[in-house]
Amino acid sequence: MKKSTIWILIIIMVLTFIGLLYLQISYMDTMVELRNEQFDEAVKRSLYRVSKSLEWEETRKYLDEDIEQTQERLISSLTEADHEININDQLIQRRNLSVLNSDGSISKLELKGFKGDTINRKVVISPKHGSNNLQNLSKSMQDLLREQYLYQRALLDEVVYRILSKSSSIPIMERINVRKLNDLIKADLQNNGLNLPFQFAIIDKNGKVAYKSSGFDPEKDANSYTQILFPNDPPSRLNYLKVVFPTQQNYIFTSIKFMIPSFIFTIIMLVTFVFTVVVAFRQKKITEMKNDFINNMTHEFKTPISTISLAAQMLKDEAVVKNPTMFKHISGVINDETKRLRFQVEKVLQMSMFDRQRTTLRLVELDGNEIIENIVGTFRLKVERLGGTIESHLDAENAEIMGDEMHFTNVIFNLLDNAVKYSKEGVPLKLIVTTADVGDRLEIMVQDNGIGIKKENLKKIFERFYRVHTGNLHNVKGFGLGLAYVMKIIKDHKGSIRAESEFNVGTKFIIQIPLINN
């Protein structure tokens, strides 16, 4: 698949996922906002009803007190005209009224009423009173009702005056029963469908907390609801009720929790898509690397095979056979090219190691200094033949490690071989190999003065098949497996490796491997 096609699919899928996530998040945000508005409206409606209930309760209380006091004063003022009798511990009042009839005769009316009963009065007419007094009786009843209306109106005016002038000056805690207030709030909230715990506080006219329920913390619970208590009080004497809901967020969250699985599945799909894209690009990159590898491998194998074929043809020449010097030279060329071909084949076979989770190592006790000294001695001839120098500073006092001798040797050899391959043309190669004790690890450093590695390529040099691009030139041979092999072997030895490089200055590889006593 072409890279452009992959990018088009990626853009389409990304836009699709962004649109889907946007719709889900917008819907969830709208649901939360709507739920909050409903919650606020229900709470405010409930607290308003609580405030009105407190006002009605206080008004009823003052009415009862005034009715009782006024009734007592009325009874005491009518003592001379009324006769009081006790029947079953109830005080009964009796008033005698005289009604003038049309014929000039006088009828006697008797008005009875219980104490405290200012509304339901009974008028009793006995047979001896006569039958022609209904007109006068009706007029008397109207006068009586008018008197009762005026009395009740005066009573209500007095109650209103007392509420306005007296109640607002009373401390708020004397006007409210806290337990009853709690029950009122709970009942009204339940009537509005809010059955969740709450805490409240009463703020007096001075702005101080007169009462607060257990657990109430105005600083912690910033989202509180405030309602004026007795809003008809003077503005300077207003008291407030403040209510908070500790589980409000959980209550709001329950309205959108059904959206959570959908959101999670969308995220899973997005992660899966990203992973698929990453794998696709990685596979495409590996495919490109393998193509480069095949091209390089063909070139690497072609040269020694051509050389061996040419040398074999020369050996058929009798003149060459008869010349021992020439014969020895051609035999040496065949031998060298055969070794070179074998080395390349072995590097190709190293690819199989990367398909296994772990390399099979034959771990034995090794002296790191001794192994490195032998490798440097063998490599010195190759370096000096190129006009370079190689130095070793084996300063590690303890270099005993557990390792596979063959693979460990290949690691050091690969690093030295890379230094030779990437040396600067016209500049004598200088290699330095050192060892040192760093805590419980053996540190090995291989440093050169070659062409170096750019920063953008430095982090990729340990990847399989990766080679720093040199255009169409094949002046540097290899398959891009050497450093990947080095990284794998060092990790299998429970060690670490890092590279430090500066372009056109040189490269330094630093290896750390646990010592045998660790």
What is the C-alpha to C-alpha distance for residues 170 and 237, in angstroms, rounded to an integer? 10
What is the C-alpha to C-alpha distance for residues 361 and 401, in angstroms, rounded to an integer? 14
Domain boundaries, the chain: 3-62+170-253, 79-145, 262-350, 363-514
The better pLDDT of the pair 394, 467 is held by 394
Mean pLDDT of 338-360: 63
The better pLDDT of the pair 42, 167 is held by 42
DSSP string, 206-238: TS-EEEE-TT--TTT--SEEEEEESTTS-GGG-
pLDDT for 49-92, tens place per residue? 988 888 888 777 776 776 676 666 656 655 544 444 443 444 44
Q: Which superfamily, per CATH, for 363-514?
A: Histidine kinase-like ATPase, C-terminal domain (3.30.565.10)
Which residue stretches of 78-216 are H helix? 134-165, 172-175, 178-191
Query: Given a cut of 60, is residue 256 above it in pLDDT?
Result: yes
What is the spatial order of strands in the sheet that 209-212 belongs to? Answer: 209-212, 199-203, 239-244, 224-229
Name 364's bridge partners: 403
Four-way CATH pick for 262-350: 3.30.1320.10, 3.40.50.300, 1.10.287.130, 1.10.443.10: 1.10.287.130
Q: Tell me whether strands 122-124 and 106-114 are parallel, antiparallel or unpaired.
A: antiparallel
Dihedral sign of CA atoms 138, 140, 143, 144 in order:
negative
Q: Tell me which residue of 303, 295, 245 sits closest to 470, measured CA to CA.
A: 295
Q: Tell me whether strands 122-124 and 199-203 are parallel, antiparallel or unpaired.
A: unpaired
Query: Given a cut of 60, is residue 323 above it in pLDDT?
Result: yes
The H-or-E segment that residue 491 falls in is helix 482-492
Long-range contact set of residues 102-110: C-beta below 8 Å, sequence gap at least 24: 102/132, 102/135, 103/132, 105/130, 105/132, 107/133, 107/136, 109/137, 109/140
The better pLDDT of the pair 375, 222 is held by 375
pLDDT band at 514 (very low <50, low <70, confident <90, very high): very high
Mean pLDDT of 481-499: 87
Decide: 203 and 216 in contact? Cβ < 8 Å: no
What is the C-alpha to C-alpha distance for residues 376 and 301, in angstroms, rounded to an integer? 27
Return the DSSP state at 169.
Answer: G
